[in-house]
Amino acid sequence: MAGHLVAALTAVAWLIVFRRLERSWREQWRKADAAAQRAERAAARAEALADAAEQRAASAAARAEGRASRSSTGAAP
């Protein structure tokens, strides 16, 4: 009888341990998922900033080229 009680208590103890571990793992997975989402959003923002900078550089180069061609032909700016 005592053996059955010990076995039952041991099973309950292991169940509690495993549930706590599972809860901890789920929390870690949730944190990792949130960090991955933040990283994806940061990468998208960085890409958008790089695209905007590239467009601004191309626009500035086009303006500079236009000014250079006007000054070489003697046209008024």
15-44 pLDDT, tens digit per residue, is 999 999 999 999 999 999 999 999 999 999
Tell me the Ramachandran region of residue 74: left when phi exceeds 0, alpha when psi lies from -120 to 50, beta otherwise. Answer: left
pLDDT over 60 at 75, yes or no: no
- Between 48-52, 60-64, 72-76, the lowest mean confidence (pLDDT) is in 72-76
Rounded distance between C-alpha atoms, residue 44 and residue 72, angstroms: 42
Threshold 0.75, pTM exceeds: no
Cβ atoms of 67 and 77 within 8 Å: the answer is yes
Mean predicted lDDT score pLDDT of the chain? 92
